[in-house]
Chain A
C-alpha cells in the first residue's frame, strides 16, 4: 500500500501510472468546472464521475464517509443561509410560510445550485488528496518549476504536521498515564487542557527547528550566499516521465474546460433555466 495524503492506495493502482503534474492539473482545472455550471444535474454527474475515478484508482471509499458530516453541515448552512435567513422578497414565488419564515422557490433553487456546486469541488479535492502521495505533490510542484525552497518548505511542513500529530498523541498519553481523563468533563475544562497541550507542542517544534536547521546546514544546504545558487539536478523527477497518455489527459481536461466555457457563455448551456432537475422540482411545488 502507498500512503497518500488522505489514506492508503494499493501499489497496483492505475493512478500511479499518471504523472503527478496531471493529477495536480486535474484538481486545479476540474475544481473550476462547477463555478460555471448552474444546472445541478451536471454537477451531480461530475460528482459521479469523480467517484468512479476514485473507484478505478482503488481508493478506499470509506474516505468519503469522513466527509459526510462536512457535506451535511454545509448543506444545513446553505439551507439556513438561503431559505431561513433568505429575507423577504415579494418578487419571488412563495411556496410556504412557516413559523414566520417565507419559503421562496428561488431561494430553494439557489440553495440547490450552490450546494451542488460545492460538493464536486470538495470531491475533486478529496480525489486529489486520496490519490496523491506527498512525493507526488512535490514532483508536481517541481515539474511546474516552482522554486526549490517553496517545494522544500511544503515537504517539510507535511513532515512537521505528521510529527505534531505524533507529539500530540505522546503528550496526551503522558497526561493520561498521570491520571488525566477528559471524558465527561465540561467544555471549559477540555479547552483548558487543550491550551496546555499547545504549549508543549510549540516548545517541541521550536527545539526541532534547531535540529532540522543543523541537519540541513550539515548537508550543505544554504538559503543565501553562493551555495544557494547551485543548480539542482532535481533527481526526484528522473523517476517520473511524461507519457503520451499524460499529454492526452492534459489535453482532454483543457479542451473540456474550454468546451464548458464555450457552451456556457456562447450557447447558455448549464444555466438554471436549462436545468431539467430544477424544472422538475419546480413542477413539484407548483
Chain B
C-alpha cells in the first residue's frame, strides 16, 4: 500500500483537507479491507457494550428502552467514521449491553433492525452529502441532526410498536410513553455526545488507517 499521494499535490495535513477530499478516494490511492477493520469492529462493540450498559442500567425505562441512552454515541459516531464496520458494531453491541442490563434475549434480538437504522443513517448522510466529520459548517450540524432525529424516530416506532407490542409487553395506550422514551433517550443523548466527539476526534480519526472513506475501506 505504498501510495504516492503526497507527490500528486494532495494537502499533507488534515487541516487543509476539505470535506470532499476527506471522503474522496484519490487517484492511485489503494484502499482495501484489512485486519484493522475487524479489530475496529470488535473494539467498537466493546466500547458500545460498556457505554450502552451504563445507559441501560442508569436510566432504564424498561425492556432495553432508556431515558438517556449513552450508547447512541458509539452507534452513530462509530458508523460515521468506520462505515459498514461501525454499522455492524452499532447493530450488534446493544444486544450485549441489553443482555447485561436484563433485557431478555429475543427482545434484544428483535431490536436489531432499529439499531441498524440508527447506525446506518448518519453514516449514509455523511457519505451521501459529503459532510465534514469535523463539523465545520452549519450544514454539517443540520444534516447530522436530521439523521439523528429520523433514525431515532424509526427506532422509536420499531421497538415499542413492533417489538414490545408484538411480544405483548405493552398496551396500545402505553405505547406513546415508550415511543417518546426511546426517541427522547436517543436524541438527547446524541445531542450531548455526538457533536462533541466528532469535533474532538475526527481530525485524528481521518488520519488513521482504520478510517473508512467508502463503506468497507
CA distance A74 to B169 in the complex (A): 10
> Are the C-beta atoms of B101 and A70 separated by less than 8 Å?
yes
Cβ B36 vs Cβ A191 within 8 A? no
* A206 close to B45 (CB less than 8 A): no
Given A28-B105, A85-B174, A210-B36; A35-B167 close (CB under 8 Å): yes
A189 on the interface (CB 8 Å rule)? no
Question: Min CB distance, A139 to chain B, in Å?
Answer: 18
In the bound complex, CA of A70 to CA of B62 (Å): 8
Knowing A74-B62, A74-B63, A78-B169, the reply to whether A223 touches B33 (Cβ < 8 A) is yes
- Knowing A74-B102, A121-B105, the reply to whether A202 touches B201 (Cβ < 8 A) is yes
B19 adjacent to chain A (CB < 8 Å): no
Secondary structure dominating the interface of A: helix
Which residues of the partner chain A approach B196 to less than 8 Å between Cβ atoms?
195, 198-199
B37 at the interface (CB under 8 A from A): yes
Contact residues, A113-161 vs B (CB, 8 A): 114, 117-118, 121-122, 124-126, 129, 149, 152-154, 156-161
Q: Is B209 among interface residues, defined by CB-CB distance under 8 A?
A: yes
Is B43 within 8 A of A208, CB to CB?
A: yes
A25 to B57, CA, bound (A): 27
Contacts of B106 in A (CB 8 A): 31-32, 35, 121
With a cutoff of 8 Å between Cβ atoms, the chain A residues found around residue B172 in the complex are: 87
Looking at the complex, which one of B49, B51, B197, B209 makes contact with A199 (CB distance below 8 Å)?
B197
* Complexed CA–CA distance, A158 and B43 (Å): 9
Is A112's CB within 8 Å of the partner chain B? no
The segment out of A48-56, A162-170, A250-258, A274-282 that lies at the interface is A162-170
A260 interface residue, CB < 8 Å from B? no
Bin chain B's interface residue count: 35 or more
Known contacts: A85-B171, A165-B50, A203-B204. The answer to whether A156 contacts B39 by CB under 8 A is yes
A209 vs B171: C-alpha distance when bound (angstroms): 45
B111 to chain A, nearest CB (A): 14
Which one of B102, B197, B204 contacts A198 once the chains associate, using CB atoms below 8 Å? B197
Q: Is the CB of B174 within 8 A of A129?
A: no
The residue in A73, A195, A221 that gathers the most chain B C-beta atoms within 10 A of its C-beta is: A195
List the A side residues contacting B70 at CB < 8 Å.
194
Q: A77-B61, A223-B34 are in contact. Are A201 and B47 (CB under 8 A)?
A: yes
A241 within 8 A of B: no
Binding site for B on A (CB under 8 A): 6, 27-28, 31-32, 35, 67, 70-71, 73-74, 77-78, 80-82, 85-87, 107, 110, 114, 117-118, 121-122, 124-126, 129, 149, 152-154, 156-165, 168, 191, 194-195, 198-199, 201-203, 205-206, 208-210, 212-213, 216-217, 221-224
A sample of 12 cross-chain residue pairs with beta-carbon separation below 8 angstroms, ordered by A number, consists of A80-B174, A81-B177, A114-B168, A118-B169, A126-B102, A154-B42, A154-B45, A161-B50, A164-B46, A206-B210, A209-B36, A223-B38
In the complex, given contacts A70-B57, A121-B106, A157-B45, what are 5 additional A-B residue pairs having Cβ atoms less than 8 angstroms apart?
A: A35-B106, A73-B60, A156-B42, A206-B204, A223-B34
